[in-house]
């Protein structure tokens, strides 16, 4: 089955050449993109969709979410807006609610959040464990996550649960808990921050998870300067997320990690800096220095960080809008960070087959047909019309999802 999407006013490919085509068309065959070019040259297909002069982008790649949870933390947001600061301790509230929720309900809640994201143009999603914090509940979270999203990250090292010794808990995270989640996850993460895990504990977690064959990511430099970025680069993590408080040395280390990168082959990849602007606003932290990072040569991702404590939104459009209006990224840079950048952070940006999956986050022949048609003639409208729901249609792996 092939579908021709034609009459595209602006086709923002986010491909290797950063091409933006005007008056374009594209053909989807099965789950892949099989052709793109000028609308006047489009081949015949089994069916045709008239894009009506709208803009077509890659679907959003949301590379940082925490969707496996139950409960509500509205009161914390109210307290923050009244002047209190965010502390990692709120994670325990969600852990309590999550532990007492059935598999069926946790799955239903997560599926609802995924559906909400897809309806806004997200076509590839990562999510984490981290609200179980004991062996059974982390394994259960990982198993449920593996049924509802594309990529699963083990975040047993999210918070030391009440009543446990931090060193003993770190042993558990590196031992029996890791073994229990291992069949369901591709990535591991650690919240390396004051109030969560120290540098030494984080190092132990990263080492054990790397030894277990997992790709690495780090929550780092969210609430203050610290060792998160340095550790992420040292361990060759695919991404370090939050990055609000960076020293000059942190920026240099991230930039240096990309100095030998070949974007064509993917060889010599560095550590993506993942900015989470919705979280920054909701916690009243300074926005991550995305402009400075890009100027230094760091590859950037934008993600929603959808979670009940610091960022209860799955709106990637909101993140893109904020990145343009407040972080001084161009529209093209912000869309790139929310598509190709997310794919890079998940190691899914290149090749036609990676572990049986096609490249995501950019529009090119052979890539997965993950497409987002805006109800606007150009992507600039994402910043020009803030807050307006602009998603007109979504294809996920070639299937119309909205």
Piece of 5-13, 90-98, 250-258, 342-350 that binds ligand NIG (CB under 6 A) = 90-98
In the complex, minimum distance from the CB of residue 45 to ligand NIG, in angstroms, rounded to a whole number: 42
In the complex, minimum distance from the CB of residue 222 to ligand NIG, in angstroms, rounded to a whole number: 5
Residue from 119, 75, 58, 156 nearest 363 by CA:
58
Cβ-proximal residues to 154 (8 Å cutoff; 6+ apart), any chain: 128, 129, 138, 142, 178, 181, 182, 185, 187, 188, 189, 209, 214
Choose between 122 and 222: whose C-beta lies nearer to ligand NIG: 222
In the complex, minimum distance from the CB of residue 213 to ligand NIG, in angstroms, rounded to a whole number: 24
Residue from 374, 289, 294 nearest 340 by CA:
294
By the 8 A CB rule, do 114 and 151 touch? Answer: no
Piece of 8-16, 40-48, 89-97, 112-120 that binds ligand NIG (CB under 6 A) = 89-97
In the complex, minimum distance from the CB of residue 371 to ligand NIG, in angstroms, rounded to a whole number: 28
Q: Is 33 in the site for ligand NIG (CB under 6 A)?
A: no
What whole-number distance in Å separates Cα of residue 82 and Cα of residue 87?
15
Number of residues that bind ligand NIG (CB under 6 A): 13
Quick note: the x/- pattern for ligand NIG over 236-275, rule CB under 6 A, is ----------------------------------------
What whole-number distance in Å separates Cα of residue 227 and Cα of residue 220?
7
Q: How far is CA 74 from CA 92, 159, 210, in A?
A: 15, 20, 36
In the complex, minimum distance from the CB of residue 388 to ligand NIG, in angstroms, rounded to a whole number: 26
What whole-number distance in Å separates Cα of residue 112 and Cα of residue 118?
10
Residues 135-194 that bind ligand NIG (CB under 6 A): 191
Residues 305-334 that bind ligand NIG (CB under 6 A): 305, 307-310
In the complex, minimum distance from the CB of residue 131 to ligand NIG, in angstroms, rounded to a whole number: 7
Piece of 26-34, 46-54, 304-312, 381-389 that binds ligand NIG (CB under 6 A) = 304-312
CB neighbours (10 Å) of residue 46? 10
- Look up residue 378 and give its two tokens: 């150009």
Residues that bind ligand NIG (CB under 6 A): 66, 90-91, 94, 191, 219, 222, 279, 305, 307-310
């Amino acid at each position: 089955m092939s579908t021709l999407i034609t009459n595209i006013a602006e086709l923002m490919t986010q491909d290797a050449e950063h091409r933006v085509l005007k008056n374009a068309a594209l053909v989807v065959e099965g789950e892949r993109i099989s052709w793109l070019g000028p609308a006047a040259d489009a081949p015949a297909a089994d069916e045709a969709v008239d894009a009506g002069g709208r803009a077509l982008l890659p679907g959003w790649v949301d590379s940082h979410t925490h969707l496996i949870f139950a409960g509500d933390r509205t009161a914390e947001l109210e307290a923050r807006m009244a002047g209190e600061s965010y502390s990692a301790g709120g994670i325990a509230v969600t852990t309590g609610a999550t532990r007492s929720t059935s598999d069926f309900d946790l799955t239903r809640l997560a599926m609802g959040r995924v559906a909400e994201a897809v309806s806004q143009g997200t076509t590839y999603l990562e999510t984490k464990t981290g609200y179980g914090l004991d062996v059974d509940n982390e394994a259960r979270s990982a198993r449920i996550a593996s049924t509802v999203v594309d990529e699963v990250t083990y975040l047993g090292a999210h918070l030391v649960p009440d009543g446990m010794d931090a060193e003993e808990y770190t042993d558990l995270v590196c031992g029996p808990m890791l073994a229990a989640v291992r069949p369901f996850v591709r990535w591991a993460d650690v919240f390396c921050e004051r109030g969560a895990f120290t540098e030494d504990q984080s190092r132990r977690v990263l080492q054990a998870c790397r030894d277990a064959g997992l790709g690495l990511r780090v929550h780092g430099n969210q609430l203050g300067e610290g060792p998160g970025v340095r550790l992420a680069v040292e361990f060759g993590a695919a991404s370090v997320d939050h990055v609000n408080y960076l020293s000059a040395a942190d920026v240099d280390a991230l930039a240096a990690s990309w100095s030998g990168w070949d974007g064509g082959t993917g060889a010599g990849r560095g550590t993506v800096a993942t900015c989470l602007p919705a979280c920054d606003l909701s916690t009243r932290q300074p926005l991550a220095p995305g402009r400075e990072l890009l100027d230094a040569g760091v590859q950037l991702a934008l993600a929603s960080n959808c979670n009940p404590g610091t960022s209860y939104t799955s709106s990637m459009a909101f993140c893109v809008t904020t990145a343009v209006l407040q972080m001084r990224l161009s529209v093209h840079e912000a869309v790139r960070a929310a598509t190709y950048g997310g794919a890079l952070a998940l190691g899914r940006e290149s090749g036609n087959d990676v572990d049986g999956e096609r490249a995501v986050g950019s529009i090119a022949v052979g890539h997965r047909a993950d497409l987002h048609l805006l109800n606007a003639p150009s992507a600039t409208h994402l910043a020009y019309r803030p807050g307006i729901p602009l998603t007109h249609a979504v294809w996920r792996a070639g299937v119309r999802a909205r």
